Structure 1
Amino acid sequence: MATDVVVPTLGESITEATLGQWLKQPGDPVKADEPIASLETDKVAVEVNAPIAGTLGEQLVAEGDNVEVGALIARIEAGDAAAPKPDAGKAGKAETAVNPAGPGETPALKEDAAAPKAKDDAQALSPAVRRAVIETGVDPASLKGSGKDGRLTKDDVLAAAKGGTPAPAKPAPPAEKAAPATGERHEERVRMTRLRQTIASRLKEAQNTAALLTTFNDVDMTAVMDARGRYKDLFEKKHGIRLGFMGFFVKAVALAARDVPSVNAFIEGDEIVYHDYLDVSVAVSAPNGLVVPVIRNADAMSFAEIEKTIADFGKRAKDGTLKIDEMKGGTFTISNGGVFGSLLSTPIINPPQSAVLGMHRIEERPVVVDGQIVIRPMMYLALSYDHRLVDGREAVTFLVRVKEAIEDPTRLLIDL
């Protein structure tokens, strides 16, 4: 008896997804709750799990097709998920028929039979792992997965690319194949993922709707770097997480937003919605694009809670396991382009939010302090905001409050 596999509920307001990849092929044995397909939504990749153990039957949807919640995409034949063992007598006849090797000859049947399985294993990759394989050129068939049920993870691929697990040498091309002509040019067309389409649409929406403006300032990171250097070992020993810079900036934003509440507000129709809480969207790089998981009630969290939450978001973004609900909402965004080497940028707000703070790389520069030219670790800060709601004076005030809190972290403790 066959059991239907349908598209699961994907979250509030999400009614459609794109079938990104089949993780199992027709005839493959599957276990109950084992992922058999990957769906791409507007925000994250979601795996479809097998409702029962059995054998995957007909696939009713092709990769790249759009599917609605509740749509039938495949069927699973009930039964033992383990592959049936062939009868010894039948196996011998099959070998004779497929590979009639004589005495002393080496049969190639085992190699022929193993080829489809290796192909299937290579196909059963999550979107994050598949992208890592493409970027590094590592052969996934040569790796042993450390994930659930022996599946490959992105860390497995990256470790192999760094020399942890050497990939087998590729066979040399046939001698008769002519080398490509010098100067030959190629083009490749790749369909945009649903996530990338959504990112493009929302960014363009922000430009078309909001009156965007950016104001800049720079901040001396000496005090924060000294505090971090002094306490990072004790902090990690006590809390089990490294002390980073994001905790300081989240705390500084929470402090500044109390003085300038408009940067933490929305425009809805002809009304302004103010929030007495701060939900910070943290821009995180994922294999398929930028995602913004939300730190809920960040204004009430400790440094350790903030750092643990951010570290968890970063790891799961790379693995493609962030949940849709974790990226909903958010009243303010922080984007750290400095981790990629950015010196200066004008970030775009994340609608319906009204402001985004851009952090950049720390660079030693000569500055004047008390009439003396000294070298200090400096960072440029950029605040992009919706000028319909946030006035220039308020934007500058907010950025100055953040600067003051970073340059004198004691303010974060005594609420100044």
Structure 2
Amino acid sequence: MSIEIKAPTFPESVADGTVATWHKQPGEACSADELIVDIETDKVVLEVVAPEDGVVAEILKGEGDTVLSEEVLATFTAGAAGAAAPAAAAEAAPAGDADKVGPAARKLIDENGLDASAIPGTGKNGGITKEDVQNFLKNKPAAPAAAPAAAAPAASATAAALNIVTGERVEKRVPMTRLRATIAKRLVEAQQNAAMLTTYNEVNMKPVMELRKQYKDLFEKTHNGTRLGFMSFFVKAATEALKKFPAVNASIDGNDMVYHGYQDIGVAVSTDRGLMVPVLRDTDAMSLADVESTIADFGKRGREGKLGLDDMQGGTFTITNGGVFGSLMSTPILNPPQTAIMGMHKIQERPMAVNGQVEILPMMYLALSYDHRMIDGKEAVQFLVTIKDLLEDPARMLLEV
């Protein structure tokens, strides 16, 4: 029975997608619910799986092709017996198979008198590329010092080839993924279309660090393995500050300013495909454990490419943490249509003046980038000061004072 394999139904905010990777080729056996192809959209990568056991009969949309919602990607024959995966067949093939060596790689192999079977291939299906041969030449052990005179011409030829390889200025051109291109477009638009300004403050992290140290083991035991991190304190502090300064929690829609009566905070997550911002919903009703477990789940699914569109839509405010990568200070860029974004940074021990005495304290710089069309400087500064005060005296978050 022949079945049409179609692209997923895209949400209204997604016009089309691009075929990213075919995981199965025509004639290759598939099990029910096994991944067949990835479709990359402006926001996420969507997976298309086999409807039942069978084989892919014909691929109608190749990698890099643009597809619309529910457009036919391939035909699928249910119940048919397919061949083994090409990768397995490639592994069984002789290492010196001529089909596995590209023309440019074959030329280098012949010029240097190399054995193709000794060169590890990184190309498709284990094929040997020009770069593989070049890397093999670079890492090849030097010839013994007492070499016969007759071998001198060959050695000179090898040395000449090595000089060409090591002196080559290699460039690699890779097209932007749709996600990366969309991120780039949105960042440029944010800078061009908003009156963006950044204000800074610093917070003494010692109270939060001591509280975390005192209760982290009990917290993890009580909440089924959920670890107590720093992000939950910042999310809860930001939630309280957003209540006091609704303009920071607002968004701009044309000539209208939209004030939100809830706090949906986006948390930037770095993945191999780019920066994603899944959203914590109604953070005012979330406990510290809820925040930590949800962020951990976002991070895991982000690395696996399983964050959905629903996870990232909406959001009234964003927090990004460059400190995990060692950033001491930065200027975060707005996440439109939101009017503000807060940047966390590395905790750095510094000498500080406390009651006329110099103390070494774990300090963090905070940055708030905001749209000056919507938020006045006074509100932005007071927003950061509120977060600073809450973090330096965490009990205030519990008492809501």
Q: TM-score, normalised by structure 2?
A: 0.81
Q: Distance in 2 between matches of 1:9 and 1:30?
A: 22
Matched-pair contact (CA < 8 Å) for 1:52–1:76: no
Q: Does 1:179 align with 2:162?
A: yes
Counterpart of 2:273 in structure 1: which amino acid?
A: N
Matched-pair contact (CA < 8 Å) for 1:44–1:322: yes
Matched-pair contact (CA < 8 Å) for 2:27–2:82: no
Q: Distance in 2 between matches of 1:214 and 1:171?
A: 47
Residues 81 and 326 (structure 1), Cα distance of their counterparts in 2 relative to 1, 3 Å cut: farther
Identical counterparts, % of pairs = 55
Residue equivalent to 2:376? 391
Residues 378 and 81 (structure 1), Cα distance of their counterparts in 2 relative to 1, 3 Å cut: farther
Q: 1:352 aligns with which of 337, 353, 357?
A: 337
Residue equivalent to 1:214? 198
Counterpart of 2:282 in structure 1: which amino acid?
A: N
* Cα drift, residue 269 of structure 1: 1.9
* Cα drift, residue 111 of structure 1: 3.2
Q: How many matched pairs?
A: 347
Residue equivalent to 1:130? none
Residue equivalent to 2:131? none
Please list the CA deviations of residues 289-346 of structure 1 after superposition, one character each: whole Å capped at 9, or x if unmatched.
1000000111210000000000000111111111111010100000000000000000
SS in 1 for 2:93: helix
Counterpart of 2:194 in structure 1: which amino acid?
A: A
Residue equivalent to 2:176? 192
* Cα drift, residue 83 of structure 1: 4.9
Q: Distance in 1 between matches of 2:94 and 2:122?
A: 23
Q: Does 1:368 align with 2:353?
A: yes
* Cα drift, residue 171 of structure 1: 10
Residue equivalent to 2:208? 224
* Cα drift, residue 16 of structure 1: 0.5
Q: Which runs of 4+ in 1 moved over 4 A?
A: 81-84, 113-116, 137-142, 170-177
Residue equivalent to 2:283? 298
Please list the CA deviations of residues 169-222 of structure 1 after superposition, one character each: whole Å capped at 9, or x if unmatched.
x99559986325343211111010000011011111111111000000000000
Counterpart of 1:280 in structure 2: which amino acid?
A: I
Residue equivalent to 2:40? 40
Superposed, 1:5-404 pairs within 5 Å as 5-81=5-81, 83=83, 111-112=92-93, 178-181=161-164, 182-239=166-223, 240-404=225-389
Q: Distance in 1 between matches of 2:267 and 2:44?
A: 15
Matched-pair contact (CA < 8 Å) for 2:29–2:55: yes
SS in 2 for 1:179: helix
Q: Distance in 1 between matches of 2:286 and 2:91?
A: 59
Matched-pair contact (CA < 8 Å) for 1:218–1:380: yes
Q: Distance in 2 between matches of 1:373 and 1:70?
A: 65
Matched-pair contact (CA < 8 Å) for 1:277–1:297: yes
Q: Distance in 1 between matches of 2:211 and 2:62?
A: 54
Matched-pair contact (CA < 8 Å) for 2:205–2:363: yes
Q: Distance in 2 between matches of 1:328 and 1:38?
A: 21
Counterpart of 2:247 in structure 1: which amino acid?
A: S
Matched-pair contact (CA < 8 Å) for 1:32–1:52: yes
Residues 139 and 314 (structure 1), Cα distance of their counterparts in 2 relative to 1, 3 Å cut: farther
Superposed CA RMSD: 2.7
Q: Distance in 1 between matches of 2:162 and 2:94?
A: 33
Gaps of 5+ in 2: 101-120, 127-133, 141-154
